[in-house]
């Protein structure tokens, strides 16, 4: 066991972790930040996406110790300061971009990273960017719609 320290959602934290402890398990078990989920064991589902030093990262692909000293942001840190839903979160609620909610934290974190790099993505760009985030419930329709809306773009869908 070694002590690992990092900043999570703006707060300095430290806890003991084995060398083999994954960042996602550290967040969930040591810090009890259970909003970040685990949906697979082959780094494919994206339920675990968080931001590490501003980059979207699958938290199941790195060890907690690798995040020593890092700035980590999780779904628990995405609301506005007054506690209201952030723009992306609100768009997901407005456009029914979630059903069971299990993939949702990862979707929101991925969407936030996408919109920071590409503030007005096209439908195709969003679909391609979400290649690493699996949702089994929504058929993606309303997720794409939510992200288009969060980017401030007109949500006109020919099919609707």
Partner 1 sequence: MPKDNGIGASSKRREDVRFLTGDGQYTDDINIHGQLYVHFLRSDVAHAKINAVNTEAAAAMPGVQRIFTGADFEAVGSIPCGWQVTDRHGEPMQEPRHAVLAHDKVRHVGDPIAAVVADTYAQARDAAEAIELDLTDLPAVIDMKEAAKEGSTKVHDDLTSNLCYDWGFVEENRDAVDAAIKEAAHVTTLELVNNRLVANPMEPRVAVGDYDKSKDEHTLYTTSQNPHVIRLLMGAFVLGIPEHKLRVIAPDVGGGFGTKIFHYAEEAFCTFAAKELKRPVKWTASRSEAFMSDAQGRDHVTKIELALDADNNFTAIRTETYANMGAYLSTFASSVPTWLHGTLMAGNYKTPLIYVNVKAMFTNTVPVDAYRGAGRPEATFQLERVIDKAARELGVDPIALRRQNYVTEFPYATPVAVEYDTGDYHATMDKLEEIADLKGFDARRKESEAKGKLRGLGINSYIEACGIAPSNLVGQLGARAGLYDAATVRVNATGSISVMVGAHSHGQGHETTFPQVIAEMIGIPEEQIDIVHGDTGRIPFGMGTYGSRSLAVCGSAMVRAAEKVIAKSKKIAAHLLEASADDIELKDGKFSVAGTDKEVEWGAVTLAAYVPHNYPLEDIEPGLEETAFYDPANFTYPAGAYACEVEVDPDTGKVTIERFSAADDFGNVINPMIVDGQVHGGIAQGIGQALLENCSYDDTGQLLSASYMDYAMPRADDVPFYAVDHSCQTPCTHNPLGVKGCGEAGAIGSPPSVVNAVIDALHSGGHKVAHIDMPLTPGRVWSAMNS
Residues 6+ apart with CB under 8 A from 50: 23, 24, 27, 36, 56, 57, 59, 72, 73, 74, 75, 109
Interface segment toward partner 1; rule CB under 8 A; list 36-44, 51-59, 62-70, 112-120:
36-44
CA dist., res. 66 & res. 120, Å (int)? 32
Question: What residues from 48 to 77 belong to the interface with ligand FES (CB under 6 A)?
Answer: 48, 58, 60
133 is a site residue for partner 1 (CB under 8 A): yes
From the list partner 1, ligand FES, none, which binds 58 (C-beta under 5 to 8 Å, kind-based)?
ligand FES
- Helix (H) or strand (E) run with residue 92 in it: helix 87-94
Residue entry with tokens 């609100």: 90
Q: Measuring CA to CA, which residue among 92, 95, 120 is closest to residue 105?
A: 92
CB of 81 to ligand FES, least distance (A): 27
Which positions from 78 to 107 touch ligand FES by CB under 6 A, shown as an x/- string? --------------------xxxxxxx---
Residues that bind ligand FES (CB under 6 A): 38-40, 43-48, 58, 60, 98-104, 135-138
């Amino acid at each position: 066991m070694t002590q690992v320290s990092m900043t999570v959602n703006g707060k300095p934290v430290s806890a003991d972790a084995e060398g083999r402890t994954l960042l996602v398990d550290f967040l969930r078990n040591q810090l009890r930040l259970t909003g970040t989920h685990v949906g697979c064991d082959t780094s494919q589902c994206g339920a675990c996406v968080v931001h590490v030093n501003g980059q979207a990262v699958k938290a199941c692909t790195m060890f907690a110790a690798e995040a020593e000293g890092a700035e980590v942001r999780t779904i628990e840190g995405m609301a506005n300061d007054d506690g209201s839903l952030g723009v992306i979160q609100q768009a997901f609620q407005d456009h029914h971009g979630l059903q069971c909610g299990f993939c949702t934290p990862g979707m929101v974190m991925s969407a936030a990273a996408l919109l920071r790099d590409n503030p007005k993505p096209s439908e195709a760009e969003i679909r391609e960017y979400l290649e690493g985030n699996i949702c089994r419930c929504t058929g993606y329709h309303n997720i794409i719609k939510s992200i288009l809306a969060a980017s401030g773009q007109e949500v006109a869908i020919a099919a609707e």
